[in-house]
Amino acid sequence: MTTLIDGKEVAASIIEQVKAASATLEAETGVKTGLGVVIVGDDPASHAYVGAKSRMAKDCGFNSVQHTLPAETTQDQLAGLVAQMNADTSLHGILVQLPLPKPLSSEPIIQSILPEKDVDGLHVVNAGKLATGDLESGLVSCTPAGAMILARRIRGNDLSGLHAVVIGRSNLFGKPMAQLLLNANATVTIAHSRTKDLPAVCRTADILVAAVGRAEMVKADWVKPGATVIDVGINRVPAPEKGEGKSRLLGDVDFGAVRDVAGAITPVPGGVGPMTIAMLMANTVIAAYRKAGKTPPVFI
Ligand code: GUN
């Protein structure tokens, strides 16, 4: 029997843990966890994501602050806002929604966020801590952190002896995911668009993580029977059968066929997606605990 990994259910359990943690921190220290989110421009998908993040932060009992800036915002104005949020002691986490509209440059903005408030885990200090195996004092990028929790729910905490293949080498996902798997003692391969015979490499995976951005690219004959398959893809494709102009979400994995081969698989939607926002809340309360000089809980 293939296990369907319910990301919504796991995310809801993480959110319950976050609510309890933020309530405990406030009761013990008077500190209310604070998250500041910045969105620039009017991309509808980005607005939908940011709205969901801000609402969830409120739901968790946080001080939730959203800055909505026009597309004409200059680099200096955005940098000034980040500097102001860095200095604001009521905010423990800062997130600048990506991508930024042209001609704004995201990298200097991300690197100007204080590492201890970088709840996206994108600052080089946090990436470096993960790369050196320091999971105690850094902040881990939310989507890989969430994908890792789902993999662990199936395979346990120690992945010794298991081969994990991550398809995709981005700084946002592929690289941090590989580091997390390595930290859990898996043998890790990072595959990408230049990998020779990608299907054959994937067939050796006990844990296969797909983050390529191409709908249904991973086929059933790419998957070892019994493998744990984590699908990070979110591909919006036209769905004329649902009506004119309608669309639907597909993962990077051919779910309908792969579900018969895999031992466990995440659906899209409802797999990794809900975990990202849950881990953002977890990172924010972790940052607040550290700022208050308290040991944060471990979210699993
Ligand atoms: N845009 C899409 N995903 C993300 C994310 O995880 N963090 C930020 N900052 N922007 C995003």
CA–CA dist 217, 201 (Å, integer): 14
- Per-residue pLDDT, 111: 98
Asked if the model's pLDDT at residue 44 lies above 90, the reply is yes
CB atoms near residue 298 (< 10 Å): 9
Look up the pTM and report it: 0.95
**SS3 helix, strand, coil % of the chain, rounded to 5?**
45, 15, 40
Q: Which domains does the chain have, with CATH numbers?
A: 29-114 (3.40.50.10860), 142-274 (3.40.50.720)
The CA distance from 29 to 183, in Å, is 33
Dig out the tokens for 226 from the structure: 């019994």
Ligand 1 atom closest to the CA of 142, numbered from 1: 6
Regarding the beta carbon of 254 and ligand 1, being less than 6 Å apart is answered no
State the distance from the centre of ligand 1 to the C-alpha of 122, rounded, in angstroms.
10
Whole-number Å distance between alpha carbons of 134 and 193: 29
φ/ψ of 181, rounded to 5, equals -65, -40
Structure confidence by residue, pLDDT tens digits, 49-61: 999 999 999 999 9
Ligand 1 center from residue 54 Cα (angstroms): 13
pLDDT in tens, 161-214: 999 999 999 999 999 999 999 999 999 999 999 999 999 999 999 999 999 999
- The DSSP string of 200-253 is HHHTT-SEEEE-SS-TT-B-GGGS-TT-EEEE---EEEE-GGG-TT-EEEE-SB
Residue 288 to residue 23: CA distance in whole angstroms: 12
Under the banding of pLDDT at 50, 70 and 90, the label for residue 254 is very high
Pocket lining: 286 vs ligand 1, CB cutoff 6 Å? no
Q: What is the pLDDT of residues 102-115, one digit of tens each?
A: 999 999 999 999 99
Give 170 Cα–ligand 1 centroid separation in angstroms: 13
The total of other beta-carbon atoms located within 10 Å of residue 91's CB is 25
Q: What is the pLDDT of residues 117-130, one digit of tens each?
A: 999 999 999 999 99
Residue 300 predicted with pLDDT over 90: no
Q: What is the mean pLDDT of residues 67-78?
A: 98
Residue 292 beta carbon below 6 angstroms from any ligand 1 atom: no
Q: Is the CB–ligand 1 distance for residue 211 below 6 Å?
A: no
Nearest to 226 by CA among 254, 256, 208, 206: 206
DSSP 8-state secondary structure symbol assigned to residue 116: G
Please provide the average confidence, as pLDDT, over all residues in the chain.
Answer: 97
Contact indicator for 201, 165 with CB cutoff of 8 Å: yes
pLDDT at 243: 92
pLDDT of residue 141: 97
Q: Does residue 295 have a pLDDT over 90?
A: yes
Could you give the CA distance from residue 44 to residue 236 in angstroms, rounded to a whole number?
14
Task: Please give the average per-residue pLDDT across 12-24, as a whole number.
Answer: 98
